Amino acid sequence: MPELINFTLMRDTIRVQSVRSRNLEEGYGYIRLAQFQERSDRDLQKALEKMAAEKAGLKGLVLDLRNNPGGLLTQAVRVADLFLDSGMIVYTEGRIESQKQKYFAQKDGSWIDFPIVVLVNGGSASASEIVAGALQDHKRAIVLGTKTFGKGSVQTILPLDDSSALRLTTARYFTPKGRSIQATGIVPDIIVESAPQQEAKVDEKRRPSLREENLPGHLQNQQQTPNSQQEPGDKEKENQIPSSGPTGDDSIDNDAQLKRALDLLKSWDVFKQLVQKKAA
């Protein structure tokens, strides 16, 4: 029998860098938001200011919320508020009046002068769905990718006398237009798989996607009907967006969703220039 080996473990706080940013091309920025932490809105603000201060400015932005599991509701509201100058961001409804809350955008400090493409997938949940849903409902951004996880319920933790606690589902999240996120998620405006089906690995093709609606005992979406199981975004499959040639950056060219997002932003700018020339 092999000898036992003793290990000394030390607890530590693991800090995840919430916001990462870079330029995709001159004038086109990329911000990856990994999760919604206490400083996410301030870090996002700094990233935007840095991009806007560069020579080409900020002509378009890709906001990457893929595999973002969520985090603080207050941060989801503040992040959405950065890109909206008015209107509702999200609201909650429960059985009692105290569970009914509404959150609104403020005009001060809003970034509204450039188009945005928000990337989402089945790993985008909770707070990231709130942001994507708000920007989609206000037509502030195009949501691109695959359907999100569908975590649209609010949990309240009640401490008990024996030092344990009881977690109760007490409310649901709704987008500004009244769409329930629960079990349905956010359906992208343009559906683009992470990799073309013919290029995907065999294991990836066989692996079923796991979302809230697949979990046993999940809270049902009261708005859902049998016909709503089909994703309306299917009508705008990825082949509807003309793809440009390679950029020479493997991190872009090997990411089908990011590549299509950049193509969309660039064509958006070209179309805008054509309209302005005709108007002149």
Positions marked catalytic: 126, 137, 151
Residue 242 to residues 47, 188, 265, Cα–Cα distance (Å): 29, 18, 12
**CA dist., res. 193 & res. 144, Å (int):** 9
Phi, psi dihedral angles at 47 (to 5 degrees): -65, -40
Which residue type sits at 90? V
Burial of 180 (0-12, 13-18, 19+ CB in 10 A): buried
**CA dist., res. 154 & res. 125, Å (int):** 13
Task: Specify the length of the chain in residues.
Answer: 280
